[in-house]
Amino acid sequence: MFDEKDLLIEARHVTRRFPTNDGRLLTACNDVNLKFYKGKTLGIVGESGCGKSTFMRFLVWLDTPTEGEIFFHGKDITKMKGAELHENRQHIQMVFQDPSTSFNPKMKIKEIVCEPLLNYNRISSSEVDAKARELLELVELPGDFADRYPHNMSGGQRQRVAIARAIALEPEFIVMDEATSALDVSVQKTVIELITRLQREKNIAIGFIAHDLGLIESFAHQVAVMYLGNIVEVMPGEGLSDICCHPYSRALLNSVFDLKMDFSQKIKAIEGEPPSPLDLPQGCPFSNRCPDCVDACHHTKPTLQEVAPGHLVACHCCTK
């Protein structure tokens, strides 16, 4: 689907287990294999608690997997330490869901967006004003916002500042963790347009976490659907609503309004509750909520199988 020479980050068999107080293990990510390519967006979608944010934290060194490897330019980032880790941090940045909690409220906007540049000695303190204005204008904010404080700005403006800070170091990869979920729908649209424009101009790879499959469909080049720590479907972003076949993916699409605003199509809640991640069913993790469940689903866990070029599904019914 993508040119392998553009492969930037590859996660191989990544698993994360957390010990509980009663001695059991909670598996947040289970044997995750994903690839990120230059200039492309991979969206990771799923309900809260499915493990998507846990996985993305590995990519920015906020956590370490229990098992598996993550390669960036051929080097395993889970093994990086010291000077090598510091050097590579500038190439991978992150935009958090709520910028107001990731900003120091006592810092001016110019200090926030230029802090990474100062940390890596890219600019001197005398260059902060000019560089801050340049970065703000790049994300379509007035340059004079540089002297404001975060609380003097709207949610959409603060998220643009977060994006300006993330691109300040000219990174190759940016993680966006629910970067638009706290914004109004109209503001979401303008922020997504900004992100896609910057991606085209700077050839940035993006990992975008969301719970709204309809939103992801509008701009992602590839989409991975995650359920209880498992990747259950990987597919092209274009035409996603027509090709997705895993029952969970279809349920996610049916639980939100169509992007074309076709209100004749009723939204449907996903039936049942997900099982406890400490007590997963023996076979398919979605079997207790799946309308298409067959006998094999209760006994054998399905693995990802290719059903079309660039389209993988972990489902007994979809791959028969």
pLDDT average per 10 residues of sequence, the chain (320 residues): 90 95 91 96 91 93 95 94 93 88 92 96 95 94 94 90 94 90 77 90 94 84 94 92 90 68 56 79 86 86 91 86
Which of these three, 169, 198, 228, is where a domain ends?
Answer: 169
Is 156 in the same domain as 294?
Answer: no
pLDDT at res. 256:
64
**Rounded CA Rg of the chain:** 21
Domain that holds residue 127: 102-169
Is 304 in the same domain as 238?
Answer: yes
Is 288 in the same domain as 248?
Answer: yes
Q: Considering the domain boundaries, does residue 97 fall inside one?
A: no
Is 149 in the same domain as 201?
Answer: no
pLDDT at res. 268:
63
Of 154, 109, 107, nearest in space to 135 by CA:
109
Of 242, 215, 236, 259, nearest in space to 312 by CA:
236
CB 224 within 8 A of CB 233: yes
Cβ-based neighbour number of residue 301 at 10 Å: 17
At 276, give phi and psi (nearest 5°): -65, 135
Q: Considering the domain boundaries, does residue 150 fall inside one?
A: yes
Rounded CA separation 291/150 (Å): 47
Which residues sit opposite 223 in a β-bridge? 43, 235
Is 111 in the same domain as 11?
Answer: no
Is 151 in the same domain as 258?
Answer: no
Is 259 in the same domain as 187?
Answer: yes
pLDDT at res. 217:
85
Is 145 in the same domain as 224?
Answer: no
Rounded CA separation 116/168 (Å): 7
Q: Give the predicted TM-score (pTM) of the model.
A: 0.91
**Total structural domains in the chain?**
2
Rounded CA separation 204/11 (Å): 18
Is 110 in the same domain as 120?
Answer: yes
**Would you give the DSSP letter of residue 29?**
E
